Amino acid sequence: MERPVSACCCLYCQSAKKMGKKSKDLIIIPESDPFMNIGEIITADCANGEGLRVSIFVSGCTNRCKGCFQPQTWDFDFGKPYTSETENYIIEELSKPYYNGLTILGGEPFEQSNQREIVKLIRRVKAQLPDRNIWIYTGFTYDKDLVPGGCRYIECTDEILDNTDILVDGRFVLELRNLMLRFRGSENQRIIDMKQTRKLGEVVLSPLNE
Ligand code: SF4
């Protein structure tokens, strides 16, 4: 996969700049060699989705929202490498009978390298624990950034979204912060019913927005 080296602060662009590439040069992202760091896993979490959840916070975010409550997670190297042992632990924990589902947040799950690890985790959850639902939080906008032609649409984005039950999308906007909101931080963010959205081909909001 190719992408332009820009003013972006992501790991790829930073690496490319170190290699002396110019702003319009292209660099190759090795699809066969994805990697991801993970900052935290919260078990028995009831704050980031409905019911009891395993919540994982992946590292790396290029959104840089003003007022972000965890800017340490912008760094793609924050936390520890996500390994097969990490994945096994998540599956083992999620298999306990009291869990409703998995929540993936960050950082930014839809940064390219993160998507390539997340899609593998989602495949395992769907194969081994099909009754667990999946929520994902993103600072990107679904119908602008995560659809064909969007800035974070890659070869596995559709597979992730097809297997997501709820997507909470949109940057955190400090001026629109509302502490009364459930499952989101600012009023511009949307809780999207992804099953209905994918079925109908248009954004369908969850009743949880009300
Ligand atoms: S998308 Fe989330 S993690 Fe990234 S800067 Fe915005 S609030 Fe912070």
Contact present, 59 and 86 (Cβ < 8 Å): no
Peptide linkage before 107 cis (omega within 30 of 0): yes
Contact present, 55 and 41 (Cβ < 8 Å): yes
- Mutational pocket test of ligand 1: of 171, 184, 188, the residue with most ligand atoms within 8 Å of the beta carbon: 171
One-letter amino acid identity for 118?
I
- Mutational pocket test of ligand 1: of 38, 73, 184, 190, the residue with most ligand atoms within 8 Å of the beta carbon: 73
pLDDT at 168 over 90: yes
pLDDT (0 to 100) of residue 75: 96
Q: Name the pLDDT band for 210 (thresholds 50, 70, 90).
A: confident
185-196 tens-digit pLDDT: 999 999 999 999
Average pLDDT, the chain: 88
Of the candidates 97, 109, 105, 9, the one whose C-alpha atom is nearest the C-alpha of residue 49 is 105
Nearest ligand 1 atom to alpha carbon 106: 3
Quote helix, strand, coil % in the chain, to nearest 5.
Answer: 30, 20, 50
Contact present, 192 and 205 (Cβ < 8 Å): yes
47-104 tens-digit pLDDT: 999 999 999 999 999 999 999 999 999 999 999 999 999 999 999 999 999 999 999 9
* Separation of CA 115 and ligand 1 centre (Å): 16
Can you give the pTM of this predicted structure? Answer: 0.86
Q: How far apart are CA 200 and CA 192, in angstroms?
A: 13
Q: Name the pLDDT band for 207 (thresholds 50, 70, 90).
A: very high
Q: How far apart are CA 94 and CA 92, in angstroms?
A: 6
90-108 tens-digit pLDDT: 999 999 999 999 999 999 9
| Residue 194 region by backbone torsions, left for phi larger than 0, else alpha for psi between -120 and 50, else beta | alpha
Which residue has the least CA distance to atom 3 on ligand 1? 107
Nearest ligand 1 atom to alpha carbon 71: 8
Domains belonging to the chain, first-starting first, are 1-30 (no CATH), 33-209 (3.20.20.70)
* Separation of CA 110 and ligand 1 centre (Å): 11
Task: Provide residues with CB under 6 Å of ligand 1.
Answer: 61, 63-65, 68, 73, 106-108, 139, 171-172
HSE-CB for 140 with a 13 A CA cutoff: 23
Strand order in the sheet with 133-137: 80-81, 37-45, 53-58, 101-105, 133-137, 166-169, 190-193
- Mutational pocket test of ligand 1: of 10, 62, 64, 189, the residue with most ligand atoms within 8 Å of the beta carbon: 64
pLDDT at 7 over 90: no
Contact present, 4 and 24 (Cβ < 8 Å): yes
Contacts of 45 (CB under 8 A, 6+ apart): 52, 53, 54, 55, 103
Q: How far apart are CA 59 and CA 67, in angstroms?
A: 17
